Structure 1
Amino acid sequence: MSSSSDDAIKQCMADAGFPDWKPAPDLPTVGGATLTDWRYGIHDLTRAKRSGYHPDPEQQAAYEAALASDESMNADQDTLRGCASQTDGTGASVRQSPLVSQISGSSYQQSTETAAAKKVFALWSACMKAKGYIYREPLDASDHFSTGSDQISEAEKQTAVADVECRDQYHVEKTWFEAEAAIQQKAIAGHLDDLKRQKAAIKSAVAKARSQEAVR
């Protein structure tokens, strides 16, 4: 939610008899620090040694503390929904282009089917097998430990370390990224006019939001 929307809802809630209402706090990052972390899986050996595939414990603690401090729902829910509905549209809505989201989603799936990705995945799989782990593709290893448990086992740490070592040996992220980038570049070229129109709409929304902030 934008700060302008937060301010509008806060004023509405105050007018409705909830002067102490506060918007939800910004939550700290948990897990990957870059898009590559989230998109292609773990590649930080230090993190793997410390917490396996789990988020860094300090990051997780900070996230949970921020979540616990969220008082935004401590108010009459009908009133809050009414204020949110009332202020919806008073601030500019700035979201990612639908076409960008579509290209991003489809390119990821297509990239896993490219010859380059399949080759490097096979090399990674053979490397993992030599270390005693049987997985077909890189994300299979992390998925194996995605059970919802907060406990970080030694087996998970050891698997994650082997995973990163095999990734580094065969440059998995670089190969995967380059394969996907080529797919995205082709898609961008094929939808250039639509992307330009959506970019202009987003720039207009940003300008509108900034002008609204300036008069507050």
Structure 2
Amino acid sequence: MFSRPRRSAPVLLLALPLLLAGCAGTDPAPPRGADAPTRVAAPPPVPTAVPVLDSANDRPLPLDGYLLSPAQLLTVQKAQTKLATACMARFGFDYAPPQPAPPARDADAPTTRVDGRYGPQNAATMAKWGYHPEGGDPGAGVQPPRLQLSPEMTTALRGASDPKQKYGPGGQLINGRTVPERGCVGESVRKLTGSVDGRVGDAQLAEDLKFRTLVDSQKDARTAAVFAQWSGCMKESGFDYPDPVAALGDKAWQDGSAPSPRELQVATADAACRHRSNLVGVWHSVDFAYQEQAIAENAAAMAEIRTALHAQVDAAAAALGS
């Protein structure tokens, strides 16, 4: 999926992993069994309507109800950090990871989703910032500082005595207390999900379907046709791109914290050609239909995901005392 911050692979959605600084909170579990997306031999879904849109960022998608919203994601991140910090304090450690903060979201960010789809959709913003984040990208390439953890702190955090082992069974005695399974990270995961090896954040199936439906909608013949119209329009302005994904992912935009004059020219033409071909309206309607179809194909699993997601958000709110 698209996201306004520069990315090397713009076809993918911006993934926001839940990380405790210096140590991953939970690792995404690979799809397995009933958790894997079900594919059936079905014809491409038919959209109920094709609206005329320059932006779909204010329009919910069917999968939104099965994925964390920006506010919910921040709540879960804060709760996991608080739980792990409190656990470490029981062992006498002053564990102070950076506090989660809302990600920078410019005027072109979706209102109901963590990730943006369909690329930049605000002509005024594109004319000023091209394919860069609104305000430029002064932090490009800057890595956040990593916490310096002693061997004992690492053991308490991860439950593993071997520093090369990501997580361990716990059981070690530190300052008179027994390390829980998978350490304080495991304890925080258990309190949020009910299981020490649960998945904090979005369910794997929901994430898989989020990516899959975007790719399916992008490859759909109806979207491909409007991409062709957009490409022809761009050629009239002197720019040769097969689709908007290629324009957004042009490597020429990868250097520098601010857009170049050519980038602004391409982005301005991009916005005009999107408008002329109703690219967002068509793509959104096709994407919407694919998401509805995917949810129907996995109805039982998706119902369980919605219930578990609500339970996780409630647990996070309780941990924060809100």
Compute the TM-score of the two structures, normalised by the length of structure 2: 0.57
What is the SS of the residue equivalent to 2:249? helix
Q: Which moved more, 1:204-213 or 1:89-98?
A: 204-213
Return the letter of the residue paired with 1:149. Answer: D
1:74 and 1:8 mapped to 2: Cα distance? 17
Q: Which moved more, 1:167-176 or 1:140-149?
A: 140-149
1:51-200 to 2 correspondences below 5 Å: 51-57=129-135, 60-61=137-138, 64=139, 73-76=146-149, 78-85=151-158, 86-87=183-184, 88-90=186-188, 91-93=191-193, 94-145=200-251, 148-150=254-256, 151-200=258-307
What is the SS of the residue equivalent to 1:89? helix
Return the letter of the residue paired with 2:101. Answer: D
Q: Deviations over 1:97-145 (max 9, x none)?
A: 2221122111111112222101111110110011111111111111114
What is the SS of the residue equivalent to 2:263? helix
* CA displacement at 1:207 relative to structure 2: 3.2
Listed as ranges, the gaps of 5+ residues in structure 1 are: none
2:230 and 2:101 mapped to 1: Cα distance? 38
2:79 is matched with: 4
The 8 Å contact of residues 52 and 160 in structure 1, kept in 2 or not, is answered as yes
Q: Which moved more, 1:162-171 or 1:193-202?
A: 193-202
State whether structure 2 residue 301 is matched by structure 1 residue 203.
no
Return the letter of the residue paired with 2:187. Answer: G
The 8 Å contact of residues 78 and 100 in structure 2, kept in 1 or not, is answered as no
2:296 and 2:229 mapped to 1: Cα distance? 32
The 8 Å contact of residues 253 and 259 in structure 2, kept in 1 or not, is answered as no
Return the letter of the residue paired with 2:125. Answer: R
What is the SS of the residue equivalent to 1:38? coil
1:37 and 1:210 mapped to 2: Cα distance? 22
What is the SS of the residue equivalent to 2:287? helix
* CA displacement at 1:152 relative to structure 2: 1.9
Listed as ranges, the gaps of 5+ residues in structure 2 are: 1-17, 19-76, 159-182, 194-199
2:99 and 2:206 mapped to 1: Cα distance? 28
1:32-51 to 2 correspondences below 5 Å: 32-34=108-110, 35=113, 38-51=116-129
1:188 and 1:157 mapped to 2: Cα distance? 39
The 8 Å contact of residues 93 and 153 in structure 2, kept in 1 or not, is answered as no
Return the letter of the residue paired with 1:3. Answer: K
The 8 Å contact of residues 79 and 316 in structure 2, kept in 1 or not, is answered as yes
Compute the TM-score of the two structures, normalised by the length of structure 1: 0.81
Tell me the matched-pair count. 209
1:110 and 1:46 mapped to 2: Cα distance? 29
Return the letter of the residue paired with 1:197. Answer: E
1:26 pairs with one of 101, 107, 113: 101
Q: Deviations over 1:176-198 (max 9, x none)?
A: 01111111111111111111122
2:90 and 2:203 mapped to 1: Cα distance? 35
Return the letter of the residue paired with 2:148. Answer: A
Q: Which has the higher helix share?
A: 1
* CA displacement at 1:74 relative to structure 2: 3.9
